[in-house]
Amino acid sequence: MQVAIIGLPTSGKTTVFNALTRAHADLNIHSPAGMEANVAVVKVPDARLSKLASIFKPKRIVPADITYVDIGGFAVGFGQTEGFSGQLLSNVQKADTLVQVVRAFVDPTIPHITLPHTEETVDPERDITTLDMELAFSDLGIIERRLERIRDSQHKVKPTERAAYELEAAVLAKLKSALEADTPIRALNLSDEEDKVIRPFQFLTAKPMLVLVNIHESQIPEAGDLEARLRQKHVRPRTEVAVVPGKVEMEIAQLDDEELAAEFRQSVGITESALGRVIRLCYHLLGYLSFFTGGPDEVRAWTIRKGASAQKAAGAIHSDMERGFIRAEVVHYDDLTRVGSLAEARKQGLLRLEGKNYVVKDGDLLTVLFNV
Ligand SMILES: Nc1nc2c(ncn2[C@@H]2O[C@H](COP(=O)(O)OP(=O)(O)OP(=O)(O)O)[C@@H](O)[C@H]2O)c(=O)[nH]1
Ligand SMILES: [Mg+2]
């Protein structure tokens, strides 16, 4: 899973990147325009892995991972001007989910650059709207150019292609009016057919979005109220909002001593680390779940979409396994850890043979039988 961290200048993107990845990226360097300023791969913490390891005693434990990319250069106006460079666009397009960092901390020594004609105030509501508009402008530009091309080539379309052309034009027109009414594409309930039509365009507002509101430590007591207010206004389908004290989260994440980190967290009133919370919200936004494989070599966590079949899950492990899928032996984590071994699970009938259409559940442990 790839997550792009975006946001207006000095909103705290690199601070949040450090908090989420435990990295030590330099805050004095402005994230360069359009570039991947910082990249890190994070192991997805999952307490179930160590429990499974105590059963399988494997040589290694392999957690799922997430790649975070801190992308710079979201100056205001990038979506409307040529300033929205190919590099920036393609770096954002690559991501599965966007994390938008919004500044809510007040610090007069750190200028907050927003629109040239707005005063330098801290206003998370305004900034959420600004960034959403920039992304929407980019999508609208692509839609309008495509619609124009469809109109211009109407007379050349072969009869066999006409239906596909008309469907595409209709879907794009629907997206256009949604965007013009300030509704991002991700919030539309598109059919599978419509989804397939728009996928190649890689629209920015079609990606799930987590809005991370970056507060100062002193604002922690008001965090709950602020979050409730912003959620009410900005949570929509495939959009989540969370308030985090970025700087103190970064300082805690950078501690090597887990015990000290827990103490620190408790002393400032943080119940769940931003690192864990953001991963949880990204899984939720993408509709992902984890399943496991286990054996003497490794115990491993895998990520797939909710609703995926056992055959699709096998494909996440290896394409050969998907192609040559025969059956999967499935036992749920809860059952396996309750009885303590695969042999015992088998004896109690908890280890089931499932076919290719079995819908994998979060926490299933799969052994794929395949033939190539
Ligand atoms: N006082 C205070 N300063 C913060 C807080 N969060 C971030 N900062 C500071 O704000 C400045 C900008 O933070 P960065 O994380 O570098 O922000 P950025 O969005 O990556 O900035 P650019 O890459 O320049 O666009 C840094 O000096 C941070 O230390 C906070 O909660 N309180
Ligand atoms: Mg930065």
**pLDDT at position 322, please?**
96
Does the structure show a pLDDT above 80 at 211? yes
Does 344 lie in the same domain as 216?
A: no
**Is residue 314 packed enough to be buried (19+ CB in 10 Å), middle (13-18) or exposed (0-12)?**
buried
Exposure b/e, 297-308, CB count within 10 A at least 16 = b: eebbbbbbeeeb
Give the span between the Cα atoms of 300 and 2, in whole angstroms. 19
Q: Which has the closest alpha carbon to 40: 14, 17, 62, 13?
A: 17
pTM of the model: 0.90
The single-letter DSSP state of residue 266 is H
Amino acid at 312: K
**Any idea which residue has 């596909």 for tokens?**
164
Does 146 lie in the same domain as 31?
A: yes
Convert the pLDDT of each residue in 64-93 to its tens digit. 999 999 998 676 666 665 445 577 788 888
Does residue 297 sit within a domain? no
Give the span between the Cα atoms of 270 and 280, in whole angstroms. 16
Q: Which has the closest alpha carbon to 142: 206, 71, 70?
A: 206
CB 337 within 8 A of CB 294: no
Does 314 lie in the same domain as 208?
A: no
Q: Using most ligand atoms within 8 A of CB, pick from 15, 35, 218 the residue to mutate for ligand 1.
A: 15
Convert the pLDDT of each residue in 353-367 to its tens digit. 999 999 999 999 999
Identify the CATH number of the domain in which residue 345 sits.
3.10.20.30
Q: Which has the closest alpha carbon to 1: 42, 29, 38?
A: 42
Ligand 1 nearest-atom number relative to CA 31: 23
Q: Using most ligand atoms within 8 A of CB, pick from 27, 38, 213, 220 the residue to mutate for ligand 1.
A: 27
Give the span between the Cα atoms of 291 and 366, in whole angstroms. 7
**pLDDT at position 80, please?**
63
Does residue 289 sit within a domain? no
Residue 162 CA, ligand 1 centroid: distance in Å: 52
Residue 19 CA, ligand 1 centroid: distance in Å: 12
Give the span between the Cα atoms of 209 and 100, in whole angstroms. 7
Which secondary-structure segment (H or E) carries 152?
A: helix 124-152
Kindly list the protein residues whose Cβ atom lies closer than 6 A to any atom of ligand 1.
Answer: 7, 9-15, 27, 30-31, 72, 105, 107, 110, 214, 216, 246-247
Does residue 160 sit within a domain? yes
**pLDDT at position 276, please?**
92
**pLDDT at position 83, please?**
44
**pLDDT at position 76, please?**
66
Q: Which has the closest alpha carbon to 122: 132, 136, 133, 108?
A: 108
Query: How many domains does the chain divide into?
Result: 2
Report the nearest-CA residue for atom 5 of ligand 1. Answer: 247
Amino acid at 34: G
Does the structure show a pLDDT above 90 at 153? no
CB 30 within 8 A of CB 15: no
Q: Note down the domain range covering 327.
A: 307-370
Does 22 lie in the same domain as 96?
A: yes
| 185 vs 32, higher pLDDT | 185
Identify the CATH number of the domain in which residue 272 sits.
3.40.50.300
Does 255 lie in the same domain as 329?
A: no
Does 169 lie in the same domain as 20?
A: yes
14-18, 35-39, 246-250, 353-357: range with lowest mean pLDDT: 35-39
Q: 2: helix, coil or strand?
A: strand
Give the span between the Cα atoms of 80 and 279, in whole angstroms. 31
Amino acid at 121: T
Convert the pLDDT of each residue in 257-300 to its tens digit. 989 999 999 999 888 899 999 999 999 999 999 999 999 999 99
Does residue 290 sit within a domain? no
Ligand 1 nearest-atom number relative to CA 214: 31
- How many C-alpha atoms does 209 have within 13 Å on its Cβ side? 29
Residue 16 CA, ligand 1 centroid: distance in Å: 9
**Tokens read off for 119:** 């005063």
Domain end residue (candidates: 225, 250, 284): 284
Report the nearest-CA residue for atom 21 of ligand 1. Answer: 10
* Distances 295 to 53, 60, 68, 323, 350 between C-alpha atoms, Å: 9, 10, 30, 22, 17
Convert the pLDDT of each residue in 42-67 to its tens digit. 999 999 999 999 999 999 999 999 99
Q: Using most ligand atoms within 8 A of CB, pick from 11, 14, 100 the residue to mutate for ligand 1.
A: 14
Residue 74 CA, ligand 1 centroid: distance in Å: 14
Does 251 lie in the same domain as 201?
A: yes
CA end-to-end span of the chain: 28
Does residue 67 sit within a domain? yes
Q: Where are the alpha helices (DSSP H) in 208-291?
A: 223-234, 246-253, 258-268, 274-286
Give the span between the Cα atoms of 250 and 128, in whole angstroms. 22
Ligand 1 nearest-atom number relative to CA 30: 24
- How many C-alpha atoms does 123 have within 13 Å on its Cβ side? 13
Does the structure show a pLDDT above 90 at 168? yes
**pLDDT at position 271, please?**
86
| 179 vs 126, higher pLDDT | 179
Give the span between the Cα atoms of 155 and 342, in whole angstroms. 65
CB 143 within 8 A of CB 172: yes
Does 217 lie in the same domain as 156?
A: yes
Q: Output phi, psi for 359, to 5 deg.
A: -90, 115
**Tokens read off for 170:** 């209709």
Does 171 lie in the same domain as 125?
A: yes
Does 316 lie in the same domain as 273?
A: no
